[in-house]
């Protein structure tokens, strides 16, 4: 289907036609998955302006981590990125490794890569289910959570936890995978490939979904780039930027990565980009499985007690391609076992403040579909 322009309606200038109102959407609203208030100015049904009001979930994590050791700090940051907490674990571990000059065994790097991709699929499944709810479809949330439970079983086999795994640690990974882990992962990949085809059949080409998403919430590539968009939001607007390919970490430099992009920057493009990403993650996982059974799990020179680990003085920035985009961490260490300063570069914060540009000229009914297409994680925003 060819799309030539967006479906924004020109905001009317005649004040006699409709009454302008300001709606307070949230902080407790059934279509907002997290505490957030949106101040929506509308001319009748047409959105003129949106102002996000944040802070309802603020816990002061960046201050709390300075009063905790590095193991506890990683756990707190994992709760900001709760759907894919292994990304936060990787950030803390990599920042320490950069300051201390620690090398990581190849086997541990392949295992880290595998876990990050499993987390990406788990996050996208939850996003898909919620997006279906925003569009008025109930089936996606039930089937996506079904698949996600199977994926969480795999992560639980590795770490003993379904969330906040803490399995990626400085120097490598905490424990060896169980003997039958590779077989379970292969079985999941084979099964999930068929489920993705099922999703495409009943949802992706559904006429109602196409009508709710096509040419809705269009984002120009120049505007997206200038305002700090990353991840599927940026790629949906046609810019092929992915840290896994452009600034490789873990074992991504050994892989031939396909970076999907959209053409029109609308809700439908952002949706399709994430679906292609899930298929690409399956391919990466299957590649990793050939390298995870033999080798060292951790650098033997690294203190195995993460909680007592002291980090030399230094300052470093590191970033990971999280499911939402560039998740970055600035670490300032002072030679103790507690960070002097940690700052999280949260992609959701940048994407949330794109909402005003994305929604202007669209209908109030389009607001939550546009919001859902951004995959906002309020834990990142109110860090």
Residue 14: inside a domain, yes or no?
Answer: no
Residue 12: inside a domain, yes or no?
Answer: no
Residue 18: inside a domain, yes or no?
Answer: no
Closest CA to 188 of 323, 285, 292: 285
Instruction: Quote the pLDDT of residue 205.
Output: 84
Instruction: Quote the pLDDT of residue 343.
Output: 94
DSSP label of 150: H
Query: For the chain, what is the mean pLDDT?
Result: 90
User: Residue 165 is part of which domain span?
Assistant: 61-381
Instruction: Quote the pLDDT of residue 234.
Output: 97
Percentage of the chain modeled with pLDDT above 90: 67
Instruction: Quote the pLDDT of residue 305.
Output: 87
Instruction: Quote the pLDDT of residue 168.
Output: 94
Q: Give the pLDDT confidence of 84-131 residue by residue, as tens digits.
A: 889 999 999 999 999 999 999 999 999 999 999 999 999 999 999 999
Residue 153: inside a domain, yes or no?
Answer: yes
User: Quick one: average pLDDT of 270-291?
Assistant: 95
User: Quick one: average pLDDT of 3-30?
Assistant: 67
Residue 277: inside a domain, yes or no?
Answer: yes
Please check the confidence at residue 17 and state whether its pLDDT lies above 70. Answer: no
The phi, psi pair for 236, rounded to 5°, reads -65, -25
Please check the confidence at residue 16 and state whether its pLDDT lies above 70. Answer: no
Residue 36: inside a domain, yes or no?
Answer: no
Please check the confidence at residue 75 and state whether its pLDDT lies above 70. Answer: yes
| Token code pair at residue 310 | 């002291």
Q: Is 41 helix (H, G, I), strand (E, B) or coil?
A: strand
Please check the confidence at residue 275 and state whether its pLDDT lies above 70. Answer: yes
Query: The domain that contains 116 carries what CATH number?
Result: 1.10.645.10
Query: Of residues 13 and 104, which shows the higher confidence score?
Result: 104
Residue 28: inside a domain, yes or no?
Answer: no
Its pTM stands at 0.92
Counted residue by residue, the chain has a size of 383
Please check the confidence at residue 72 and state whether its pLDDT lies above 70. Answer: yes
Instruction: Quote the pLDDT of residue 1.
Output: 43
Distance CA 326, CA 318 (A): 10
Residue 140: inside a domain, yes or no?
Answer: yes
Distance CA 209, CA 375 (A): 17
User: Quick one: average pLDDT of 278-287?
Assistant: 96
Instruction: Quote the pLDDT of residue 13.
Output: 55
Instruction: Quote the pLDDT of residue 81.
Output: 87
Q: Give the pLDDT confidence of 295-340 residue by residue, as tens digits.
A: 999 998 888 888 889 999 999 999 999 999 999 999 999 999 999 9
Most confident of 158-162, 227-231, 307-311: 227-231
Please check the confidence at residue 15 and state whether its pLDDT lies above 60. Answer: no
User: Quick one: average pLDDT of 269-275?
Assistant: 95
| Token code pair at residue 350 | 């940048």
Confidence of residue 18 (pLDDT cuts 50, 70, 90): low
Closest CA to 254 of 219, 291, 214: 291
Point out which residues pair with 47 in neighbouring strands: 42
Distance CA 13, CA 143 (A): 45
Domains of the chain: total: 1
């Amino acid at each position: 289907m060819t799309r030539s322009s967006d479906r924004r309606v020109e905001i009317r200038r005649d004040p006699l036609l409709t009454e302008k109102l300001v709606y307070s959407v949230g902080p407790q609203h059934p279509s907002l998955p997290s505490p957030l208030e949106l101040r929506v100015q509308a001319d009748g049904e047409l959105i003129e302006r949106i102002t996000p009001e944040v802070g309802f979930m603020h816990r002061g994590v960046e201050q709390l981590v300075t009063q905790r050791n590095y193991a506890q700090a990683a756990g707190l940051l994992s709760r900001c990125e709760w759907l894919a907490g292994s990304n936060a674990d990787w950030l803390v571990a990599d920042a320490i490794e950069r300051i201390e000059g620690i090398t990581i065994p190849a086997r541990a790097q392949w295992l880290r890569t595998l876990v990050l991709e499993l987390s990406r699929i788990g996050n996208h499944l939850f996003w898909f289910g919620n997006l279906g709810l925003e569009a008025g479809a109930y089936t996606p949330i039930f089937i996506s959570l079904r698949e996600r439970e199977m994926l969480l079983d795999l992560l639980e086999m590795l770490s003993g936890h379904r969330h906040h795994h803490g399995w990626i640690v400085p120097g490598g990974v905490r424990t060896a995978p169980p003997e039958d882990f590779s077989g379970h992962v292969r079985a999941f990949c084979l099964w999930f490939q068929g489920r993705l085809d099922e999703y495409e059949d009943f949802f992706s080409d559904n006429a109602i979904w196409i009508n709710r998403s096509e040419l809705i919430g269009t984002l120009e590539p120049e505007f997206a780039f200038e305002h700090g968009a990353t991840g599927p939001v940026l790629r949906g607007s046609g810019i092929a930027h992915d840290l896994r390919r452009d600034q490789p970490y873990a074992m991504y430099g050994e892989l031939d990565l396909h970076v999907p992009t959209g053409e029109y920057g609308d809700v439908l493009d952002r949706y399709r980009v994430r679906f292609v990403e899930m298929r690409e993650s399956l391919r990466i996982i299957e590649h990793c499985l050939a390298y995870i059974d033999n080798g060292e799990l951790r650098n033997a020179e690294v203190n195995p007690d993460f909680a007592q680990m002291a980090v030399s003085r230094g300052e470093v920035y590191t970033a990971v391609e999280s499911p939402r985009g560039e998740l970055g961490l600035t670490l300032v260490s002072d030679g103790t076992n507690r960070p002097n300063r940690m700052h999280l570069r949260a992609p959701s914060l940048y994407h949330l403040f794109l909402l005003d540009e994305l929604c202007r000229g669209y209908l109030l009914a389009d607001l939550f579909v546009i919001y859902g297409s951004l995959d906002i994680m309020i834990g990142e925003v109110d860090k």
